[in-house]
Amino acid sequence: MFFAMEIDHSGNVGIDTTNPAARLDVNGGALVGTSPVGGDMGVGTINIGGNYYINGIPISTFIDAPSDGNLYARRDAGWDSIGAGAGTISDLGFLLSSISVEVTNTGGDNTILPRATIVDAGVMAAADKVTLESALQSANLGSSRSSTAYTVTMDVGSNATLFSASSAEAGVMSAAQVQQLNSLVSDAIRDTDFTANGLMVRTSSGSYASRTLSKGSLGGVTVVNGNGGGDLTVELHYAIGTGPPSGTPVDGQLYFRY
């Protein structure tokens, strides 16, 4: 038995198929209208001799754009040309210098991106890049010194020299100033330099030494030389008496009242 059309129990209609998979399942091409040009275009095709519509709008509205290679936009029932073919495709590029970047345009004018400032953003100049890298490097400190100055060295950047102090400005202590200070300390007379019952005298060499007072011979006081230079005796012209005077003191005697 030959079947030209099949309507199954679900309502699907099949043409040239006994097992329709949709409401209309055509196994072949379709011709719509009066004698479409070209006839049957094959399985799965629809050849329309007139126009067909999408929601009341004829499909020709969407497919009849001009084919002259220009760019068009659809407005209402017609096509508007965009640029009327005068536009061109541009290629962008760039040119570099030490202070700016120039963006090139094959279809128009170029533009320059300027160097950044403390007020406005921009590109980083080559010199600014070097400065930034130098500032970000780790610095190693060292030192050197002479008799009059002390220098702090750095492997990145400049060194700093601290000079010796003066009567007007602060600074480091020079070698000569240290010697002067040591001399003052060594020549200073301290309490510990004295011996008990001692007397401090300046020697012929210019230094100071403690002398010890002790009882000498009758009529004198002995000063013992503490630095080994021998005893010094201070002689009094008259004898010193330690007993109480009886009557009128005798000429040439010195008495202490106790």
Q: Which residues touch 122 (CB under 8 Å, ≥6 apart)?
A: 113, 114, 115, 116
What's the confidence (pLDDT) of residue 114? 92
Domain assignment present for 111: yes
Cα(150)–Cα(163) distance, integer angstroms: 6
Domain assignment present for 73: no
Domain assignment present for 214: yes
More confident residue, 60 or 100: 100
SS3 state at 15: strand
Give yes or no: residues 154 and 110 share one domain.
Answer: no
Q: Is the pLDDT of residue 25 over 80?
A: yes
Give yes or no: residues 99 and 128 share one domain.
Answer: yes
Give yes or no: residues 154 and 201 share one domain.
Answer: no
What's the confidence (pLDDT) of residue 6? 84
Domain assignment present for 203: yes
Q: Is the pLDDT of residue 227 over 60?
A: no
Strands 141-145 and 149-154, by their bridges, are antiparallel
Give yes or no: residues 231 and 208 share one domain.
Answer: yes
Cα(182)–Cα(161) distance, integer angstroms: 25
Portion of the chain with pLDDT greater than 90, in percent: 14
Cα(147)–Cα(164) distance, integer angstroms: 9
What's the confidence (pLDDT) of residue 237? 43
Q: What is the mean pLDDT of residues 65-76?
A: 70
Q: What is the mean pLDDT of residues 63-78?
A: 69
Q: Which of 26-35, 84-93, 153-162, 171-180 has the lowest mean pLDDT?
A: 84-93
Give yes or no: residues 225 and 174 share one domain.
Answer: no
Alpha helices in 122-207 (DSSP H): 126-136, 175-187
C-alpha separations of 57 from 49, 73, 127 in Å: 17, 17, 65
Domain assignment present for 118: yes
Residue 33 — φ and ψ, nearest 5°? 100, -170
Domain assignment present for 152: yes
Q: What is the mean pLDDT of residues 16-36?
A: 86
CA 85 to chain centre: 54
Q: Using 50, 70 and 90 to split pLDDT, how confident is the model at 85?
A: very low
What's the confidence (pLDDT) of residue 217? 56
Round the average pLDDT of the chain to a whole number and report it: 76
Give yes or no: residues 176 and 206 share one domain.
Answer: no
Give yes or no: residues 211 and 247 share one domain.
Answer: yes
Give yes or no: residues 210 and 228 share one domain.
Answer: yes
Domains of the chain: total = 4
SS3 state at 141: strand
Domain assignment present for 17: yes
Domain assignment present for 74: no
Cα(52)–Cα(50) distance, integer angstroms: 7
Give yes or no: residues 104 and 146 share one domain.
Answer: no
Cα(159)–Cα(73) distance, integer angstroms: 71
Q: Is the pLDDT of residue 157 over 60?
A: yes
More confident residue, 83 or 78: 78
- 143, 154 in Cβ contact below 8 A? no
Give yes or no: residues 125 and 173 share one domain.
Answer: no
Q: Using 50, 70 and 90 to split pLDDT, how confident is the model at 194?
A: low
More confident residue, 71 or 2: 71
Residue ranges of E strands in 129-173: 141-145, 149-154, 160-163
Domain span at residue 111 reads 92-134
Give yes or no: residues 177 and 202 share one domain.
Answer: no
Q: What is the mean pLDDT of residues 124-150?
A: 85
- Taking phi over 0 as left and psi of -120 to 50 as alpha, with beta for the rest, 33 belongs to left
